[in-house]
Amino acid sequence: MRITLLCVGKTDFPFIVEGMKLYEDRLKHYCKFSTVCIPALKGVSSWTKEQIKEKEGELILKSLGLTKDKAAAKKHVVLLDERGGKYSSEAWASRIEKLVLLDKDVFFVIGGAYGFSDAVYSISSEKLSLSDMTFSHQIVRLIFMEQIYRAFTIISKEPYHHR
């Protein structure tokens, strides 16, 4: 199973870079895992939120190798979105287990500060919400990687590695 975590905007905080590295190392025992960051747009201070969202959407689709009109055949795209489905960690592990069986390339996408464009929604396979609370899109990277790691420990019936 190949999992890609796609983020918009580079990771600003050194502590988040460090935490992501820790979970990336752990995840490599369970799947092919990589992160891809789309650099934040430059020279857009005069742009509206909608314009930024549209442009970021184009870059997300490009990075996924998809267009609005070409749905994902071998690609399963999951958006981290406040309107998405909510799971307990156990239910989430079952979901991951099913995705493994689908034998598709799975992309988890964490959007920018203004969310996703309609084009991105249109190519997505599903949406996932971590919480009713809004977390910083930087911290979400970390939380989410820990949840993927936790899911694999649940699937493998291993004790969670607290340290």
Q: Provide, rounded to whole angstroms, the least separation between the CB of residue 67 and its own copies.
A: 30
Q: Provide, rounded to whole angstroms, the least separation between the CB of residue 60 and its own copies.
A: 19
Q: Is 134 helix (H, G, I), strand (E, B) or coil?
A: coil
Binding residues for its own copies (CB under 8 A)? 12-16, 18-19, 22, 86-89, 92, 113, 130-136, 138-139, 142-143, 146-147, 150, 160, 162-163
Q: Which is nearer to its own copies, 62 or 86 (CB)?
A: 86
Tokens read off for 53: 């969202």
Tokens read off for 133: 């609370």
Q: Which is nearer to its own copies, 15 or 47 (CB)?
A: 15
DSSP 88: -
Q: Which is nearer to its own copies, 77 or 141 (CB)?
A: 141
List the helix and strand counts (H, then E) for the chain.
5, 5
Could you give the angle at the alpha carbon of 138 between the alpha carbons of 83 and 155, nearest 5°? 70
